[in-house]
Every structure is written in structure tokens, then in C-alpha cells.
Amino acid sequence: MKPKASSRATITMMAAAVAVLSVWSHPASAQVAGQWKDPNHVYAKICSNCHDIGVGPVIKGRNLDPDYYFQVVRHGMRAMPAFRPTDVDDAMLHRLAETLSKSAPPGGPK
């Protein structure tokens, strides 16, 4: 018997929660605000854990306004949690948002 669509959505949401919690509970991933090397480091250590594996939507290559990325990261959206300035400081988040707004889609330009 196939699971209902609502069951699949629940499983997806639970997988997202586990992915986020596993990232933040692992000591090697802990960072102090201001300790990020560059926007790519932030993306690799935080964003990619959901957005590169299909748990969250693709966020590269979407030509979104940098402020949109900033607001979603700070305030969260649907299953995505909000990230505090103690997680990623404002200056680095602005750099990340600029980088994402200009990024090519996964797999290269279309």
C-alpha cells in the first residue's frame, strides 16, 4: 500500500528536521559568528545540508533579490528554521545573499 500524500509530506518534514538538528548538534559544524571564511563556507556548512539534497528547494540560480534570501534566513519560512545573528552574522549573511542572487543554477547555466 502506498503512503498518502500527507504521510509523505510528514516524512519529508521530519527528515528536514533531523537534517537541521544533526547539523547543529555536531561539534565540527559549530561556528561562532564572524568565524566563517566566506559565503561558500556558510553555504557548504549550513545551506547545502538541505538545499543540495532535495529536502529544501533549490536556492542557487533563481535570480532572487538578495534581501529575499536575507529575510528568509533571519525569519524562516515553512519548514526552514530562522537563523540568528549568532549563527551567521549580518555582514556574512549579506555576502551570502549577494552570492546566491548571482549564482548559476546547479549543473551550470541554462
CATH for 89: 1.10.760.10
- Choosing from 16, 80, 92, 97, the catalytic residue is 80
Whole-prediction pTM: 0.69
Instruction: Give catalytic status of residue 80 as yes or no.
Output: yes
Q: How far is CA 87 from the centre of its chain?
A: 12
**Confidence at residue 35, expressed as pLDDT on a 0 to 100 scale:** 85
Model pLDDT for residues 15-26, shown as the tens digit of each residue: 555 454 444 444
Percent of the residues in the chain that have a pLDDT greater than 70, as a whole number: 67
Say whether 30 is catalytic: no
- Amino acid 9: pLDDT: 58
Q: Residue 38 domain-assigned? A: yes
Cα dihedral sign, 44-66-63-18: positive
Residue 110 has pLDDT above 60, yes or no: no
**CA 82 from centroid of its chain's CA atoms:** 10
Q: How many domains does the chain have?
A: 1
Domain ranges, residue 89? 5-101
The answer to whether residue 106 is domain-embedded is no
